Amino acid sequence: MKKTLVILTRNPLSLIGLLLVATVVLSAIFADFIVPFPDHQGAVVDFVNFNKPPEWPYIFGTDLVGRDLFTRIIYAYRISLALGLVVLAIAVPIGVAIGLFAGYLGGWTEYVLMRVTDVFLSIPPLVLAMSVMGLLEPTLTNGMIAVTAMWWPWYTRLVYNLARSEKEEGYVLAAEIIGASRLHIMFREILPNCVPSILTKMTLDFGFVILIASSLSFLGLGVQPPTPDLGSMVAEGAKYLPDSWWLTVFPGLAILVAVFGFNLIGDALREILGVEEQ
């Protein structure tokens, strides 16, 4: 772990990624201490200072009801990161478990599980998430459910392929012969050998989950006002382009910074852990 961090700081690109992600994560955690107007995360109205271009103390300007954009972006990071964490924490175990069962057991288990996975993979992700959101109320929790529903099949496919190749390795045969149970072989022998690939994909995906969640709220299907969210901030500001450019540019850049940072780290991890591109 320590060694990985050292290698990460050596490569300029991954160092940039590390710095970007660290900035995003730290500002989200310590939001209460950084932001100039903590109460602006909620339903506050300040018509004296509404729609102001960037100027002190509103470094990113203010929105249409006079709330500080910088404050709202930092709090939006909090929600995006929490959403990314929850989605991956649910989608990855589900996807990995299904992939292991399908890849190792084979036969009809593989057939059924992989066909179901294929059905999910064949639907465009955003459409799937939108239809889930259409069925449910647009809230943060339901946004998580929608994104999770479209995310697990990718892990199933990744782990399925890995498990199928690891299954032929000598140590799996050795474990079978010595009498290890199937569950033991799947989760104690094969899974640890898949961890580098899973970890790399998770890092890359963290950025994409944030992006998809933003797309959903851009379409009005995610977090609802007054809760700050990068996607809905961009959508709101887009109506006032190009005059009130700060309303879209800063939230957009915020999305870019987070996604770009996670991608750089993911690429670096892939190289360090020697994971082949899928």
Q: Please report, as ranges, the residues that interact with another protein according to CB under 8 A.
A: 169-171, 173-180, 189, 192-193, 195
Q: Exposed/middle/buried for 151, CB within 10 Å: 0-12, 13-18, 19+? A: buried
168 versus 243: smaller Cβ distance to another protein: 168
Q: Residue for token digits 């649910």?
A: 90
**Minimum distance of another protein from residue 174's CB (angstroms):** 4
Q: How far is CA 208 from CA 91, 98, 126, 215, in A?
A: 14, 22, 12, 10
- Is the bond into 57 cis (omega within 30 degrees of 0)? yes
State the minimum distance, in angstroms, from the CB of residue 95 to another protein. 20
Angle between helices 246-272 and 191-218 (to 10 degrees): 170
**CB-wise, 190 or 211, nearer to another protein?**
190
Residue with smaller CB distance to another protein, 1 or 48: 1
Shortest Cβ distance from residue 179 to another protein (Å)? 4
Task: Write down the least CB distance from residue 120 to another protein, Å.
Answer: 30
Nearer of residues 39 and 169 to another protein, judged by Cβ: 169
CB 176 within 8 A of CB 186: no
Residue 105 or 121: the one with the smaller Cβ distance to another protein is 105
| Distance between CA atoms of residues 63 and 170, nearest Å | 62
Rounded to a whole number of angstroms, the minimum distance from the CB of residue 169 to another protein is 6
Please, are residues 187 and 96 in contact by the beta-carbon 8 Å criterion?
Answer: no
> Is the Cβ of residue 119 or residue 173 nearer to another protein in the bound state?
173
Distance CA 207, CA 192 (A): 24
Least distance to another protein from the beta carbon of 105, Å?
Answer: 12
Cα of first residue to Cα of last residue in the chain, in angstroms, is 24
Give the single-character DSSP code of 223.
Answer: S
